[in-house]
Amino acid sequence: MDKGTGQITLAYFNQKSTVDYIGVVQGIPVCFDAKECASDTFPIQNIHEHQIEFMSDFEKQGGITFIIADFVMRNETYYIPYSDVMRFWKRARDGGRKSFTYEEINKEFKIRSHNGIMVHYIEMLQKDLDVRDSYGK
Protein backbone atom coordinates (compact mmCIF):
# COMPACT_ATOMS: atom_id res chain seq x y z
CA MET A 1 0.00 0.00 0.00
CA ASP A 2 1.28 3.45 -0.88
CA LYS A 3 1.47 5.31 2.44
CA GLY A 4 1.02 8.70 0.78
CA THR A 5 -2.12 7.94 -1.21
CA GLY A 6 -3.50 4.96 0.70
CA GLN A 7 -3.90 3.06 -2.58
CA ILE A 8 -3.03 -0.57 -3.07
CA THR A 9 -0.03 -0.74 -5.41
CA LEU A 10 0.80 -4.45 -5.18
CA ALA A 11 -1.41 -7.44 -4.52
CA TYR A 12 -0.87 -11.17 -4.77
CA PHE A 13 -2.30 -14.45 -3.57
CA ASN A 14 -0.35 -15.97 -0.70
CA GLN A 15 -1.92 -19.42 -1.04
CA LYS A 16 -3.46 -21.63 -3.70
CA SER A 17 -7.16 -21.29 -4.23
CA THR A 18 -9.46 -24.29 -4.24
CA VAL A 19 -12.23 -24.02 -6.83
CA ASP A 20 -14.44 -21.24 -8.18
CA TYR A 21 -17.60 -22.17 -6.29
CA ILE A 22 -18.27 -24.00 -3.05
CA GLY A 23 -21.81 -23.98 -1.73
CA VAL A 24 -25.14 -25.69 -1.51
CA VAL A 25 -27.51 -25.99 -4.45
CA GLN A 26 -31.04 -27.13 -3.57
CA GLY A 27 -29.70 -28.86 -0.46
CA ILE A 28 -26.78 -30.55 -2.26
CA PRO A 29 -23.18 -29.64 -1.35
CA VAL A 30 -21.53 -28.62 -4.63
CA CYS A 31 -18.16 -27.38 -5.76
CA PHE A 32 -16.95 -26.65 -9.27
CA ASP A 33 -14.33 -24.84 -11.23
CA ALA A 34 -15.04 -22.98 -14.45
CA LYS A 35 -12.52 -23.24 -17.26
CA GLU A 36 -12.25 -21.74 -20.72
CA CYS A 37 -10.79 -23.53 -23.73
CA ALA A 38 -9.82 -21.68 -26.90
CA SER A 39 -9.62 -24.83 -29.05
CA ASP A 40 -11.06 -28.35 -29.19
CA THR A 41 -8.26 -29.65 -26.96
CA PHE A 42 -8.35 -28.97 -23.23
CA PRO A 43 -4.96 -29.31 -21.45
CA ILE A 44 -5.25 -31.26 -18.21
CA GLN A 45 -2.61 -28.96 -16.71
CA ASN A 46 -5.36 -26.31 -16.57
CA ILE A 47 -6.85 -28.33 -13.73
CA HIS A 48 -4.31 -28.05 -10.95
CA GLU A 49 -3.39 -30.94 -8.68
CA HIS A 50 -4.57 -29.10 -5.55
CA GLN A 51 -7.97 -28.64 -7.23
CA ILE A 52 -8.17 -32.37 -8.03
CA GLU A 53 -7.28 -33.20 -4.42
CA PHE A 54 -9.89 -30.75 -3.11
CA MET A 55 -12.56 -32.14 -5.44
CA SER A 56 -11.71 -35.73 -4.48
CA ASP A 57 -11.95 -34.91 -0.77
CA PHE A 58 -15.23 -33.07 -1.37
CA GLU A 59 -16.67 -36.12 -3.18
CA LYS A 60 -15.53 -38.45 -0.38
CA GLN A 61 -17.55 -36.33 2.04
CA GLY A 62 -20.71 -36.69 -0.03
CA GLY A 63 -20.48 -33.58 -2.17
CA ILE A 64 -20.84 -33.26 -5.93
CA THR A 65 -17.95 -31.80 -7.93
CA PHE A 66 -17.53 -30.99 -11.60
CA ILE A 67 -15.88 -28.71 -14.11
CA ILE A 68 -17.71 -26.24 -16.31
CA ALA A 69 -15.76 -26.05 -19.57
CA ASP A 70 -16.48 -23.32 -22.08
CA PHE A 71 -15.29 -24.21 -25.60
CA VAL A 72 -14.98 -20.65 -26.87
CA MET A 73 -14.52 -21.40 -30.59
CA ARG A 74 -17.74 -23.41 -30.61
CA ASN A 75 -19.64 -21.11 -28.26
CA GLU A 76 -20.59 -24.22 -26.26
CA THR A 77 -20.35 -24.90 -22.55
CA TYR A 78 -20.30 -28.32 -20.91
CA TYR A 79 -20.67 -29.79 -17.46
CA ILE A 80 -17.82 -32.29 -17.04
CA PRO A 81 -18.80 -34.75 -14.29
CA TYR A 82 -16.25 -35.65 -11.62
CA SER A 83 -15.96 -39.21 -12.96
CA ASP A 84 -14.87 -37.88 -16.37
CA VAL A 85 -12.52 -35.30 -14.85
CA MET A 86 -10.83 -38.07 -12.86
CA ARG A 87 -10.64 -40.38 -15.88
CA PHE A 88 -8.86 -37.66 -17.91
CA TRP A 89 -6.65 -36.70 -14.93
CA LYS A 90 -5.57 -40.30 -14.20
CA ARG A 91 -4.88 -40.96 -17.88
CA ALA A 92 -2.51 -37.97 -17.97
CA ARG A 93 -0.92 -38.87 -14.64
CA ASP A 94 -0.29 -42.43 -15.83
CA GLY A 95 1.60 -41.29 -18.93
CA GLY A 96 -1.29 -41.07 -21.37
CA ARG A 97 -2.70 -38.12 -23.26
CA LYS A 98 -2.18 -34.84 -21.35
CA SER A 99 -5.44 -33.35 -22.55
CA PHE A 100 -8.96 -34.26 -23.45
CA THR A 101 -10.74 -33.33 -26.62
CA TYR A 102 -14.11 -31.92 -27.46
CA GLU A 103 -14.93 -35.27 -29.08
CA GLU A 104 -14.31 -37.11 -25.78
CA ILE A 105 -16.77 -35.19 -23.63
CA ASN A 106 -20.31 -36.39 -23.09
CA LYS A 107 -22.47 -34.13 -25.27
CA GLU A 108 -25.51 -34.99 -23.12
CA PHE A 109 -24.01 -32.61 -20.53
CA LYS A 110 -24.18 -29.51 -22.73
CA ILE A 111 -25.24 -26.48 -20.70
CA ARG A 112 -27.84 -24.30 -22.35
CA SER A 113 -28.99 -20.86 -21.32
CA HIS A 114 -32.42 -20.92 -19.72
CA ASN A 115 -34.75 -18.13 -18.60
CA GLY A 116 -31.99 -15.55 -19.04
CA ILE A 117 -29.42 -17.58 -17.10
CA MET A 118 -26.33 -17.90 -19.30
CA VAL A 119 -24.77 -20.93 -17.56
CA HIS A 120 -27.72 -22.94 -16.32
CA TYR A 121 -25.86 -25.92 -14.86
CA ILE A 122 -28.68 -27.04 -12.52
CA GLU A 123 -30.22 -29.32 -15.17
CA MET A 124 -26.83 -30.98 -15.75
CA LEU A 125 -26.32 -31.34 -12.00
CA GLN A 126 -29.62 -33.25 -11.87
CA LYS A 127 -28.52 -35.41 -14.82
CA ASP A 128 -25.27 -36.17 -12.97
CA LEU A 129 -27.23 -37.14 -9.85
CA ASP A 130 -29.51 -39.37 -11.93
CA VAL A 131 -26.51 -41.11 -13.51
CA ARG A 132 -24.93 -41.64 -10.09
CA ASP A 133 -28.20 -43.05 -8.75
CA SER A 134 -28.46 -45.48 -11.66
CA TYR A 135 -24.96 -46.81 -10.84
CA GLY A 136 -25.95 -47.25 -7.21
CA LYS A 137 -28.86 -49.55 -8.04
> Cα torsion for 67, 72, 76, 79, to the nearest 10°?
0
Find out whether 45 is annotated in a ligand binding site.
Answer: no
Do residues 44 and 98 lie in contact, with contact meaning Cβ atoms separated by under 8 Å?
A: yes
DSSP 40: S
Q: Which of 24, 23, 10, 13 is CA-nearest to residue 50?
A: 13
CA distance 86 to 56: 9
2 is in an annotated binding site: no
Q: Is 7 annotated as a binding residue?
A: no
20 is in an annotated binding site: yes
Q: How far apart are CA 108 and CA 42, in angstroms?
A: 18
Binding-site entries: 18, 20, 33, 51
Binding-site entries for Mg(2+): 18, 20, 33, 51
